């Protein structure tokens, strides 16, 4: 295998790990959505999102810039919030039907 193929294989392996971790994160968001629904809280929590941003930017050692990491996590958080909201809507709708 030439060096280019080796590095591409490594990226492919990392991509698979990222998908697994992102889905694991989404599962956590579903569980948080259940708890928030029970507590009557909204899916959007700006204080928590800012805390996540502080944590990830503080732990970033590059080569991605802090700005790049922040943009990536804005998207990850947005998708996680969507998972929460969908679950919350489904649960609320299901509860109304009963």
pLDDT digits (tens, 9 = 90+) for 25-61: 999 999 998 999 899 998 899 999 999 999 999 999 9
Residue 26 in contact with residue 77, Cβ under 8 Å?
no
For each of the domains in the chain, give its residue range(s) and CATH number, in order of start: 3-97 (1.20.59.10)
Neighbours of 85 (CB within 10 A): 16
Distance CA 30, CA 81 (A): 9
Average pLDDT of 55-83?
Answer: 96
| Integer angstrom CA distances of residue 65 from 58, 60, 94 | 11, 8, 44
Q: pLDDT value at position 2? A: 94
The pLDDT confidence band at residue 14, using thresholds 50, 70 and 90, is very high
Q: Which helix (H) or strand (E) holds 56?
A: helix 46-59
The 3-state DSSP class for residue 40 equals: coil
Q: pLDDT value at position 5? A: 95
Look up the pTM and report it: 0.85
């Amino acid at each position: 295998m030439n060096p280019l193929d080796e590095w591409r294989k490594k990226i492919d392996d990392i991509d698979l790990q990222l998908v697994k971790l992102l889905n694991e994160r989404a599962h956590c968001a579903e569980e948080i959505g259940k708890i928030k629904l029970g507590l009557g809280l909204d899916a959007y929590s700006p204080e928590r999102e800012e805390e996540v941003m502080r944590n990830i930017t503080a732990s970033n050692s590059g080569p991605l810039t802090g700005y790049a990491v922040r943009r990536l996590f804005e998207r990850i958080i947005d998708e996680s919030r969507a998972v929460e909201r969908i679950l919350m809507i489904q649960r609320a709708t299901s509860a109304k039907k009963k």
